[in-house]
């Protein structure tokens, strides 16, 4: 089974924003990544607009991508005085193929934990209904080893995205067995409840293959930080092709 690769372009926007102006272009980076074979593009617009901004979302949601657009964000993030319209308002305008709900705080540097299904499902339920009414597939960010993942299926969630940061750290230490086991267990529990499984955070060319070999039937991985870092050395198109080759490798 092939796994879809969605390339997260936030780091392209970080580089652009550090200088001001329009370069490097998030849209051009999307074009190169798609031409190299990726299956989707991910954007994670945050209220502080420190990387991708609402205008980036608009530019990539005009129907011209030819691949899936995945918008990540905190569904409870509202409008700000700086021009951020609120996450759900962005999703309603863009109508992406998928929306990944992440419990990021406004000042959080990067995603570092998932929702707790038993605790958070009741307040996520009306948001999930709205997203599905808009024709958007709903994925919810969860920790490996989380309990009661079936609560998300009950409220209409389509997929979970397993937070792979702890696995990536363990892989770097050379002791990934326990963490990859937790990821595999969560994947199987989610699939038993009818949920699809995505994964993301700190995945790279070294740890992605072992992850996909041991965690069953992962539908999609979202990769940005490592991919863009590696692309500085080897080029964006070459790097995307290498990730696609890992994701699309035949697996039982």
Does 251 or 235 have the greater pLDDT score? 235
- Predicted pLDDT of residue 113: 81
Q: Would you say the pTM of this structure is higher than 0.75?
A: yes
What is the DSSP-derived secondary structure letter of residue 24?
A: S
Average pLDDT of the chain is 95
For the stretch 56-87, pLDDT in tens is: 999 999 889 999 999 999 999 999 998 999 99
Residues designated as active site: 44, 72, 201
| d(C-alpha 14, C-alpha 81), whole Å | 21
Going by C-beta distance under 8 Å and a sequence separation of 6 or more, which residues neighbour residue 200? 8, 161, 162, 163, 164, 221, 222, 223
Sorted by where each starts, the structural domains of the chain and their CATH numbers stand as: 4-247 (3.20.20.70)
C-alpha distance from residue 40 to each of 84, 139, 166, 192, 229 (Å): 24, 15, 24, 26, 19
């Amino acid at each position: 089974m092939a796994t879809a690769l969605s390339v997260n372009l936030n780091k392209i926007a970080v580089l652009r924003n550090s200088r001001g102006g329009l370069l490097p272009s998030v849209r051009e980076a999307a074009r190169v990544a798609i031409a190299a074979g990726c299956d989707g593009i991910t954007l994670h617009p945050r209220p502080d607009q420190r990387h991708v901004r609402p205008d980036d979302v608009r530019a990539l949601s005009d129907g011209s991508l030819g691949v899936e657009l995945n918008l990540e964000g905190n569904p409870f993030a509202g409008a700000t005085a700086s021009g951020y319209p609120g996450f759900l308002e962005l999703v309603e305008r863009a109508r992406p193929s998928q929306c990944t709900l992440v419990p990021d705080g406004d000042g959080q540097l990067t995603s570092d934990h998932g929702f707790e299904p038993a605790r958070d499902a009741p307040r996520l339920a009306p948001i999930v209904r709205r997203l599905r009414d808009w024709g958007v597939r709903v994925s919810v960010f969860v920790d490996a080893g989380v309990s009661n993942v079936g609560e998300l299926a009950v409220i209409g969630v389509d997929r979970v995205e397993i937070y792979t940061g702890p696995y990536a750290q363990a892989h770097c230490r050379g002791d990934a067995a326990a963490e990859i086991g937790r990821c595999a267990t969560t994947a199987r529990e989610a699939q038993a409840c009818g949920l699809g499984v995505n994964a993301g955070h700190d995945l790279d060319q070294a740890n992605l293959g072992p992850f996909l070999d041991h965690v069953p039937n992962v539908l999609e991985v979202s990769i940005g930080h490592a991919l863009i870092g590696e692309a500085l050395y080897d080029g964006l198109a070459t790097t995307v092709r290498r990730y696609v080759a890992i994701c699309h490798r035949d697996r039982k």
